Chain A
């Protein structure tokens, strides 16, 4: 079985500052990794994913995440945040062999203030 740990339940940051949201996973087999964003009273939107290839993946709105196999991490970063980035961010994994489903972390609330 796999599990996901998001150590920070809340990350406050000022607008235009950089941010890192941490995600660590545990799995007995190799996994695929995802970051989802959830705005208030909405469902989940895929932000980015790592399936294979380059360990650095980017989203269209400036976020990036790097898969680190040795540290079993997939931290999310953005060099300069906007007020509109305020949302809940969920890291998720899925095993890349056989049948599997998404396993989510508990989420990190990113609070961007002026």
Chain B
């Protein structure tokens, strides 16, 4: 059973650029959630995808967008990067919307300069 894999592990971008982060779900999981963890803070919910549809969103602007593919892998896209977007981005997968067995990846550390 594979876990959740995220890529890349680290990334440096310039303000105003766009970035795409990737996540491969744990085998058998059809739900993916993305979280932003700023330095010294707890993770904040960005959005969740269930069977390729966004079914929940946190308090993040539209420049944060995502996709889920038929194999349940997922992407997080952020446009017009701002300095405050610097954070650890975590992906979590689970089986179904009401399953509480979330498995987290190791995250992508994004630095915006």
Contact = CB atoms under 8 A, between A and B. Distances in A.
User: Which of B100, B101, B106 counts the most chain A CB atoms within 10 A?
Assistant: B100
Contacts of A34: 100
Contacts of A106: 40-42
A43 B104 contact: yes
B104 A99 contact: no
A94 B100 CA distance: 9
Interface in A46-76: 46, 49, 51
Contact of B43 (A41, A44, A94): A44
Nearest to A46: B102
Contact of B56 (A41, A45, A90, A99): A99
A44 B90 contact: yes
Question: Which size bracket describes the interface of A in this complex?
Answer: 20 to 34
B97 interface: yes
B102 A43 contact: no
B107 interface: yes
Contact of B42 (A51, A101, A105): A105
B42 A49 contact: no
B16 interface: no
B102 A102 contact: yes
A44 B33 contact: no
20 contacts: A4-B42, A32-B100, A41-B106, A41-B109, A42-B106, A43-B104, A43-B105, A43-B107, A44-B104, A46-B103, A94-B100, A99-B56, A102-B35, A102-B45, A103-B45, A104-B42, A104-B43, A104-B44, A106-B42, A107-B40
Interface of A: 4, 32, 34, 36, 41-46, 49, 51, 90, 92, 94, 99, 101-107
Interface of B: 4, 6, 33, 35, 40-45, 48, 55-56, 58, 90, 92, 97, 100-107, 109
Report the 4 A-B pairs with minimum CB-CB distance, sorted nearest first. A104-B42, A44-B104, A43-B106, A43-B104
